[in-house]
Amino acid sequence: MSDAREKAVPHLSPEEFRRLGHRMVDWIADYWARVESFPVRAAVAPGEVAAKLPAHAPEEGLEGAEGWEAIFRDLEDVVLPGLTHWQSPSFFAYFPSNTSGPAVLGELLSAGLGVQGMLWSTSPAATEMETRVLDWLAGLLGLPAAFQSGSGTGGGVIQGTASEAVLVALVAARERARRALGREAEWVAYTSTQTHSSVLKAAMLAGVANGAQDGVHLRQIDTDGGYALRPDLLEKAVREDLAAGRQPFFVCASLGTTSSGAMDPVRAVGEVWERTGVRASGGWLHVDAAWAGSALLCPEYAALREGLEVADSFAFNPHKWLLTNFDCDAFYTRDRKALIDALSVTPEYLRNAASASGAVIDYRDWQVPLGRRFRALKLWFVLRHYGARGLRTYVREHIRLAERFAAWVEEDARFELAVPRSLSLVCFRLEPRPGEAPGDTDTRNRLLLERLNASGQAFLSHTVLPGVDGAPARYVLRLAIGAVRTEERHVRAVWERLVALAGE
Amino acid sequence: MSDAREKAVPHLSPEEFRRLGHRMVDWIADYWARVESFPVRAAVAPGEVAAKLPAHAPEEGLEGAEGWEAIFRDLEDVVLPGLTHWQSPSFFAYFPSNTSGPAVLGELLSAGLGVQGMLWSTSPAATEMETRVLDWLAGLLGLPAAFQSGSGTGGGVIQGTASEAVLVALVAARERARRALGREAEWVAYTSTQTHSSVLKAAMLAGVANGAQDGVHLRQIDTDGGYALRPDLLEKAVREDLAAGRQPFFVCASLGTTSSGAMDPVRAVGEVWERTGVRASGGWLHVDAAWAGSALLCPEYAALREGLEVADSFAFNPHKWLLTNFDCDAFYTRDRKALIDALSVTPEYLRNAASASGAVIDYRDWQVPLGRRFRALKLWFVLRHYGARGLRTYVREHIRLAERFAAWVEEDARFELAVPRSLSLVCFRLEPRPGEAPGDTDTRNRLLLERLNASGQAFLSHTVLPGVDGAPARYVLRLAIGAVRTEERHVRAVWERLVALAGE
């Protein structure tokens, strides 16, 4: 190796980057075209992928684009067999994690530009486009005007995930309540037993709950027969805490719980907040609509919007069901000052004239980290490419497919719906046989799911729904429709497979 | 519009995606080639970018790839003028935010695959490659074996940013201390007055500090003449807190402070922890080397490693100075159980056989959010493409350029170094004129910086360094070398410009 070569940093030349970039784009296009051919759930054992990777980093690099042949080989031999294919049209587990051509182009561009949007001044376009695009989305979803930037006191920001959104809301709530009370207090937060694990995790991070024990200062309120939070029990808990000198400050209502797609009664929760005087002492109502929020695009689901006018914040994930790749959570608040009060720390090296003028938004004060990339690009591409009409068509088609599946379940005597279908989520199970012990029904369902998933032809996940009115808990299968390429034939195929397995 | 068209979701066809993808890759290659031609700092006024964007989302989409002409036009007319060009070779502000061809290809692939790595089982390759690649990096940096996965008790994980790393460390520390003590306590965390704002923000999020007032339970310890934390003052504060019945549980030492690149004495901090008995009660020592960590690649900086063997966690950002685009923070701990104890919440819908077996890592328990993308791909590409030798060459060249700049400053009678150069960071200023009031020196420096930045030819940022031994605080300019395309000619050009402006 020549001395010059040894001293030069071996960057890709522009031509090499173009060639490899085109090839990677093609590789992705081909992957999407052949994703149906892979087992949906990865079939590797622990350690199998790691065993194919060298123990140490290479001392020498790849010596230009030719060296990348080895990487493209490894994508086939090491990476692909170790993936669970979330982009498969037969992926029905958890909630979907979307990606799409326009979104990928936006992520690519954001990585290439490599700018920081932590302050308005560190790249004004990153901030102003984000504000605008989130206003667009708020308009499409019909969110209250108070959540839009034009209100002057509220607005939207892109968080990584709904987990970060609820953490930020909870921390802003505590600071607002502390200022309203003018003192520290024994803080209490509330949510339902069916809420997403991220709410408990946020409370643990914030020091409101201790470790994984709930109930310390995060109360998980029981739900009704449809697994929605019971406002009467919330009110009882709030009054008990107040009577004991503790201070309620935060409640998280869910629109579309992960287990069963239940919708908490947001307006009734707000009324509890009002009646008990918690709102007057700064109490915060956050609405987590991570998955279901996208349905608000369609006027026929306007009922989901009920009560949002009394919410302090609202979050949903375009990365779940709106064609935008992870991560992208749209978070709205009516009280942006509360966020800034709770999260702003300004050392000298971040001071600048624009921030000091008060005329701009610095999104670093609306989120956990300091740094942030140009987050709005991919959402801007998705909204422009599909248009509102295209997005509504997308969401409606998934709901239509879920309706079909739910109808098949209801028509088949061996199966039953565990709860009524919620948007594009169907919770179902093999019906108990006459006289069958509940544990045995669960076991049959568990086996059915494991056989289906082991076949590689589709991937579903499960949950356990608590018993209502003294009934035992139920192990149920969840079919979440929302993968970008899912068509009716895929839904029909998984149903036929389930029927065949049930017959065995 | 036909009925069929109205009912179809207008996805890009595979051919359209290829065409647009190639074009976006080319656009990025061209951007990198012409980035020098733009003013480094954006020259737009607040609202200027927003005014070019429609007030509402489009009802109709782009009708295929042709419609994207409008987007590419907007990239030129709306986006580019609103950017501060972090990839410009004349960007010397803050710390750099790197990107590179191999990293962009990795981010692109991660977006295209669209898999979730929250659990091992949701895509085993995402987890196992991350563990392996972080072990590679730990080896290259010479981190203690306890931080590597082979230890069985420690290991690495990719966080978004150093902010999230310190939050996770602080929360794990509190939970570990709580378990060690067997009770709640009045928790106290420590860091230096020169530490990054993210440490105070983490303490606020966690409820250890209240609002933006420091000193509540986060003690910011004074620094020595080189702006490094003074262990004697740390020890005094710890002993006072213990005597008052409060419980020290967390200290963050910085390797390379943001203001001046100061290096806290990690070993001495560990000795305070030991001597005061804080370590025995679970106390945690985190080392934030967000920027400077990359220098550990080079054996000549091995001294920076001193004391890491007594640290509980260590974090640095490949997105700062290791050619990997934002976000990418490499976080290591010797006590992964503490993370899991503090962050794990397992609802039924996430239970699975692999997790239950204990044979796998579920990275969701090592971080704030639940979801995570395939984060390791871009780091894998960067490490393979450049090789250890290429990366060392890269870091050394930036340090060499900083040495040159520092020498020019020292040789010029009008300028002075504010502190000795730290790696690739030079803090300097116009020297005070005989008898000049300190405020006037500051003003001349402020004007110099503003004129330089307004010229668009380069972008530097500033800080204020506190006075030592009764001296007044000083406004200083920071030249941080670390943009991917910076060459000696760019450093020479900014120096010549500074000299010219100083002469005016």
* DSSP output for A81-124: GG---TTSTTB-SSS-----HHHHHHHHHHHHH----SSGGG-H
The residue extents of the domains of chain A are 10-39+42-83, 115-372, 392-503
Domain B395-503 has CATH 3.40.50.300: no
Q: Inspect the interface and report whether the beta carbons of A84 and B16 lie closer than 8 Å.
A: no
Is B46 buried (19+), middle (13-18) or exposed (0-12) by CB count in 10 A?
middle
CA dist list (Å): A18 to A11, B27, B304: 13, 9, 38
With contacts defined as CB-CB under 8 Å, which chain A residues touch B360?
46
Radius of gyration for chain B, computed over Cα atoms and rounded to the nearest angstrom: 25
Contact list, B175 vs chain A (CB under 8 Å): 210-211
Contact: B16, A101; criterion CB under 8 Å: yes
Q: Across the beta sheet with B329-333, what order do the strands follow?
A: B155-159, B329-333, B313-316, B284-288, B247-254, B187-192, B218-221
> For an interface test with A, which of B297, B385, B391 has the most A Cβ atoms less than 10 Å from its Cβ?
B385
Q: What is the dihedral of CA B230, B232, B233, B235, to 10 degrees?
A: 120
Closest chain A residue by Cα to residue B358: A46
Binary contact (A161, B107; C-beta < 8 A): no
Residue B215 scores a pLDDT above 70? no
Looking at the partner chain, which of A26, A198, A385 has a beta carbon nearest the beta carbon of B370?
Answer: A198
| Nearest-neighbour CA in chain B from A11: distance (Å) | 7
Show residues of chain B in contact with A325, CB under 8 Å: 111, 114, 373
Q: What is the token pair recorded at A474?
A: 């139920």
Q: Which fold has domain B10-39+42-82?
A: dopa decarboxylase, N-terminal domain (1.20.1340)
CB contact under 8 A, B206 and A205: yes
Do residue A33 and residue B17 have CB atoms under 8 angstroms apart? no
B384 and chain A in contact, CB less than 8 A: yes
A466 contact B CB<8A: no
CATH number assigned to the domain covering A392-503: 3.90.1150.10
Query: Which residues in chain B are contacts of A478 at CB distance < 8 A?
Result: 349
Indicate whether B5 pLDDT > 80: no
B1 has pLDDT over 60: no
Chain segment B332-375, per-residue pLDDT in tens: 999 999 999 999 988 888 888 888 888 899 999 999 999 999 99
Tokens of A488: 């009716």
* H/E segment holding residue B350: none
Q: Give the contacts of B420 (CB within 8 A, at least 6 positions apart).
A: B226
> Is residue B92 less than 8 Å (CB to CB) from chain A?
no
Residue of B nearest to A460 (CA): B349
Virtual torsion, Cα B269, B271, B274, B279, nearest 10 deg: 30
User: A88 touching B, CB under 8 A?
Assistant: no
Residue B87 to residue A113, Cβ atoms within 8 A: yes
Q: Is B185 on the interface with A (CB under 8 A)?
A: no
Q: What are phi and psi of A260, to 5 degrees?
A: -135, 5
> Cβ(B340)–Cβ(B137) under 8 Å?
no
Residue range B444-475, pLDDT digits in tens? 999 999 999 999 999 999 999 999 989 999 99
- Tens of pLDDT, residue by residue over B412-430, are 999 999 999 999 999 999 9
DSSP secondary structure letter of residue A142: T
Asked which of A199-208, B9-18, B58-67 is least confident by mean pLDDT, the reply is B58-67
Per-residue pLDDT at B4: 52
- Return the pLDDT at B243: 98
What is the ipTM, given to two decimal places? 0.97
Q: Which residues of chain A have pLDDT under 50?
A: 1-2, 5, 214-215
Instruction: Give pLDDT, residue B184.
Output: 86
Residues of B in contact with A14 (CB under 8 A): 29, 32-33
Tell the burial category of A501 from Cβ atoms under 10 Å away from its Cβ (0-12, 13-18, 19+).
middle
Q: Is A213 part of the contact surface with chain B (CB cutoff 8 Å)? A: no
- Ramachandran class of A227: left when φ > 0, alpha when ψ lies in -120 to 50, beta otherwise: left
- pLDDT tens-digit map of B75-102: 999 999 999 999 999 999 999 999 999 9
Tell me how far apart the terminal alpha carbons of chain A are, to the nearest angstrom: 66
CB–CB contact A201 B12 (8 Å): no
Q: Do A84 and B121 touch (CB under 8 A)?
A: yes
pLDDT for res A440: 97
CA distance B8 to B13: 12
**Given this model, what pLDDT does residue A214 score?**
43
Q: Do B129 and A31 touch (CB under 8 A)?
A: no
Q: What is the pLDDT of residues B34-48, one digit of tens each?
A: 999 999 999 999 999
The pLDDT tens digits of the residues spanning A452-488 come to 999 999 999 999 999 998 999 999 999 999 999 999 9
User: Is the CB of A195 inside 8 Å of chain B's CB atoms?
Assistant: no
pLDDT for the residue numbered A350: 84
Residue B2 predicted with pLDDT over 50: no
Q: Does B91 touch chain A (CB under 8 A)?
A: no
**Residue B333 forms beta bridges with which residues?**
B155, B313
Contact B109 A24 (CB under 8 A): yes
B79 within 8 A of B355, measured Cβ to Cβ: no
Mean pLDDT score, B381-393: 98
Average pLDDT taken over every residue of chain B: 95
What topology is assigned to B157-345 in CATH?
Aspartate Aminotransferase; domain 2 (3.40.640)
Do the beta carbons of residue A266 and residue A253 sit within 8 Å? yes
Strands B415-417 and B425-430: antiparallel
Please give, rounded to a whole number of angstroms, the shortest distance from the CA of B500 to a CA of chain A: 24
Residue B250 bridge partners (DSSP): B189, B284
Q: Which of A109, A368, A393 sits opposite B7 (nearest CB)?
A: A393
B202: its two tokens: 């983490």
Q: Considering only CB atoms, which chain B residues are within 8 Å of A191? A: none
Do the chains contact at A327 and B259, CB–CB below 8 Å? no
- Count other Cβ atoms within 10 Å, centred on residue B130: 26
Q: Which amino acid is at A283?
A: G
pLDDT at A2: 44
Question: A386 — contact with chain B (CB < 8 Å)?
Answer: yes
According to DSSP, the β-strands at B329-333 and B155-159 are antiparallel
Task: Enumerate residues 406 to 445 of chain B having a beta carbon within 8 A of any beta carbon in chain A.
Answer: none
Dist CA B494 CA B458 (whole Å): 6
CATH architecture of A10-39+42-83: Up-down Bundle (1.20)
Q: Which CATH class is domain A115-372?
A: alpha beta
